[in-house]
Structures are given as C-alpha cells and as structure tokens.
C-alpha cells in the first residue's frame, strides 16, 4: 500500500522582495496578458463594450480560479500520488521550457487554434467563450499550472502567501489587458505581439532553467543527506 508522505509548508523567514518580484513576473510571463489581449481582440470582433468587459472578467476569473485551486490542492496531489516536491520542480521546469521554446522559435501555442476558436466563438455566448476555451486552457493551460505548482513546491507558509498574492495581482492585470484588448492590439499590432511573445518566451526559459537548477541542487542535497549504504560482509 502506498504510504502518503504529505509535508505541510513550514513557517520560514519572511520572503525577500526578489522572491516576490520573481514570482510575480514569472506568472505574468507565462500568462502573457499582452499577447492574450491581441488574441482576445481578434476573437471578439464586433462585441459591444459591455459584453467585452463581461468576457474579460470571466476569462480572468476562470484562469485565476484554476491557478488558485492548483496552488491550494497541489501539495495534496503530490501526496496522494506519491509525488515529491522535487519531482514537480523537474516536471514544471520541463513543461515551462517546452512552452518557452514554442514562444521563442515558433508561435505561441494559444495562437495555433485562434481561427478555429474565432469560428466557434461566433456561435457561443460571450461568457461561454471566456470560460472555455479562453480562460481554460488558453490562459490557464499546462504551462501556467506547472509554473504555479512548481512555485509552491517545498515553500514556506509566507512564500505560499506571496504566490497566492502574485496570482491575484496577475489576474487583475490580465483583466485590465483583456478589457482594453482592442486598444492594446491597435497599439502594438501584429508585429508588436510577436515581439512581446519572444520577450516573454525568453523570460519563461529563464524561469524553467531556474526550476531545473533548483531541482538539481535539491537532489544533490538529498543524496548527500541520505542514509549510508549498508555494507554486507561475506564470511
């Protein structure tokens, strides 16, 4: 029978400003609300201002709810399936790195289905389109969820609180960008959107590598602190 080894976050020292800034900017990069606003604007052409605001609010809240749920139950998921925080750091690093490479050398994965989603959106109510597919999985997709779960792995309670605050702050920022989506798209244009994608992809690549570096460090420390190997003597 699988033994559940759930370890709650410890209290720990106060998080540094660099930690808070790094968490906030990492989530901003993986959500990429500037690029999302351009996609949102093209998918909601002809929608009146009131409906656009409702859709933006629904999309941002849906993505925020998904991130908060995984932030709250992520540790229990680790325990139930027997995962360790170390394993999640590696998984998160690999998935975020894949997303970053797609943004750097290809297109944002969210854009590949844009035309299909626009056709689908014309047959849906604004609230339906905002929740699925825009809120989930276009905003809160595997890369976003992996980033959140990688951030909470092995954190203290205070760091845990900083991650939750960073989620709420980014949800608010995403809502503002989506609400002004037509203006954002008109300002930066298609070329500007691609440039933003590349910049966000570069930041995400750094986040992914930091996940992997932290995982390697933690693995090395764990191996150093492991119990000594038993020596069996043959007589």
In angstroms, the CA 49 to CA 162 distance is 34
Is there a contact between 67 and 136 (Cβ–Cβ < 8 Å)?
A: no
Predicted confidence at residue 232, as pLDDT, reads 45
| Greatest distance between any 2 Cα atoms in the chain | 87
Instruction: Give the per-residue pLDDT at 112.
Output: 47
User: Of residues 8 and 182, which shows the higher confidence score?
Assistant: 182
| Structure confidence by residue, pLDDT tens digits, 189-212 | 778 777 877 887 787 788 778 778
Contacts of 47 (CB under 8 A, 6+ apart): 55, 126
Structure confidence at residue 115 (pLDDT): 55
pLDDT at 20 > cutoff 80: yes
Q: How would DSSP label each residue in 38-69? A: HHHHHHTTT--HHHHHHHHHHHHHHHHHHHHH
Residue 71 to residue 152: CA distance in whole angstroms: 7
The whole-number average pLDDT for the span 89-102 is 76
pLDDT tens digit string along 40-87? 887 776 778 888 899 999 999 999 999 999 888 877 776 777 776 677
Q: 111 pLDDT exceeds 60?
A: no
Cα–Cα distance measured from residue 137 to residue 142, given in angstroms and rounded to the nearest whole number: 8
DSSP letter assigned to residue 110: G
Q: Which two tokens stand for residue 215?
A: 């995982």
> What is the predicted pLDDT for the residue at 15?
66
Of 43-47, 147-151, 225-229, the poorest mean pLDDT is in 225-229
Residues 6+ apart with CB under 8 A from 233: none
The more confidently predicted of residues 16 and 125 is 16
Higher pLDDT, 221 or 60: 60
Percent over 70 (pLDDT), the chain: 76
Mean pLDDT of the chain: 76
C-alpha–C-alpha distance, residues 123 and 12, integer Å: 51
pTM over cut 0.85? no
pLDDT of residue 1: 37
Phi and psi of 154, rounded to 5°?
A: 70, 20
Q: Which residue has the higher pLDDT, 232 or 165?
A: 165
Q: Binning pLDDT at 50, 70 and 90, where does residue 164 land?
A: very high
Q: Which residues of 152-170 are buried (b: 16+ CB within 10 A; e: fewer)?
A: bbbbeeebbebbbebbeeb
Q: What percent of the chain has pLDDT over 90?
A: 15
| Of residues 182, 137, 160, 215, the one with CA closest to residue 41 | 182
- The answer to whether the Cα torsion of 136, 140, 146, 152 is positive or negative is negative
What mean pLDDT do residues 83-98 have?
A: 73
Q: Phi and psi of 19, rounded to 5°?
A: -65, -50
Instruction: Note the pLDDT of residue 213.
Output: 86
């Amino acid at each position: 029978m699988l033994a559940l080894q759930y370890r709650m976050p410890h209290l720990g020292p106060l998080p540094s400003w660099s930690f808070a800034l790094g968490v906030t900017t990492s989530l901003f990069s993986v959500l990429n609300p500037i690029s999302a606003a351009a996609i949102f604007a093209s998918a909601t052409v002809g929608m009146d201002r009131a409906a656009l605001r409702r859709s933006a609010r629904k999309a941002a809240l849906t993505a925020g709810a998904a991130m908060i749920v995984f932030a709250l139950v992520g540790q229990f998921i680790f325990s139930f399936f027997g995962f360790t925080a170390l394993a999640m750091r590696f998984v998160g690093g690999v998935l975020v790195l894949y997303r970053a490479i797609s943004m750097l050398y290809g297109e944002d994965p969210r854009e590949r289905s844009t035309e299909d989603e626009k056709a689908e959106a014309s047959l849906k109510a604004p609230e339906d389109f905002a929740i699925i597919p825009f809120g989930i999985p276009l905003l809160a997709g595997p890369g976003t969820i992996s980033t959140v779960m990688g951030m909470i792995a092995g954190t203290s309670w205070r760091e845990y609180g900083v991650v939750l605050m960073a989620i709420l702050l980014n949800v608010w920022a995403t809502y503002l960008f989506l609400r002004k989506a037509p203006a954002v798209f008109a300002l930066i244009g298609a070329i500007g959107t691609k440039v933003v994608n590349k910049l966000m992809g570069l930041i995400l690549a750094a986040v992914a590598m930091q996940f992997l570096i932290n995982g390697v460090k933690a693995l090395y420390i764990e191996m150093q602190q492991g119990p000594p190997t038993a020596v069996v003597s043959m007589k």
